[in-house]
Amino acid sequence: MCVKGLCLLTVLSGLAASGVLQVSGIHIYTSGDVEAVNGTDVRLKCTFQSSTSINPNLVVISWSFRPLKPGREESVFHYQQKPYPPLEGIFRKRVAWAGDVMGRDASIILQQVKFTYNGTYICQVKNPPDVHGTVGEIRLRVVTTASFSELLLLALAIGGGIAAVVIILIIILSCRRCKKKTQRQLEGNEEAPRKERKDPTACHPARAIHLYLSQTSIEIDSSDGMISEASTKDPSSSESEGPSSDDEEDDDSD
């Protein structure tokens, strides 16, 4: 009897080593611990790896829930060619399909979570012939408010977004100012040659009377040899008066 059992074990080992008999398993990966605020939606992420090619007509995904308090497990979600949300229980109309079978994603979304959702969620995937393997578990904790780390991340995200918007606005305004300044300089350079240069010595004729030099003449009285006062006369006026003085001398001689 022992000899027959040993021979059978040897044959099975040889078949497995030669590749005729292969034992494969499916591996499931989950996010572990998840925290959600009461009344919000939360994604339960579950992915899987299989040594067999994915056939969407054969893949079976099931989610179940084990509460914190002792009690029976409750079905949460089922997928086989299409999603089947629960029709009764605490998860009725509260579960949505968020996975992709061809992308090896079996995630779901719990909508408007409540404190009764605290517990462990179990994700199971079968992809024949991969029907054996590990199962994924997620421990959900529903809280009243977000934790400090989540609030800090939210504040950093909001602050970073506001800072990015302010920086963009500053860059846009600076570019516009530089563009306007350059345009003004170009316009000034174009108008400079057009302006006529004024002679600094030139002025309006009415304001240039002091520039004209009056003709100064010195008259000498021939009779007594005395120098009379200097008079300023226009040459034209002196020429006109010349004949009249000659006429007077002719009259005296007569």
Res 70: pLDDT: 82
Query: For 96-155, what is each residue's pLDDT tens digit?
Result: 999 999 999 999 999 999 999 999 999 999 998 888 888 999 999 999 876 556 667 778
Res 205: pLDDT: 58
Res 222: pLDDT: 46
190-198 average pLDDT score: 57
Q: Given a cut of 70, is residue 190 above it in pLDDT? A: no
Res 192: pLDDT: 58
Give the angle 247-249-254 at the CA atoms, nearest 5°.
95
Res 177: pLDDT: 85
Which range has the worst mean pLDDT, 19-28, 112-121, 188-197, 236-245? 236-245
Res 206: pLDDT: 59
Res 174: pLDDT: 87
Q: Give the mean pLDDT of the chain.
A: 75
Pair 63, 76: CB distance under 8 Å: yes
Q: Given a cut of 60, is residue 245 above it in pLDDT? A: no
Res 149: pLDDT: 62
150-164 average pLDDT score: 81
Res 189: pLDDT: 72
Res 71: pLDDT: 78
Query: For 1-41, what is each residue's pLDDT tens digit?
Result: 444 444 444 544 443 443 333 445 789 999 889 999 999 99
Higher-confidence residue of 251 and 39: namely 39
Q: Given a cut of 80, is residue 93 above it in pLDDT? A: yes
What is the band of 244 on the pLDDT scale with cuts at 50, 70, 90?
very low
Q: Given a cut of 70, is residue 157 above it in pLDDT? A: yes
CA distances 184 to 130, 133, 170, 205, Å, are 75, 75, 21, 37
DSSP bridge pairs for 75 = 64
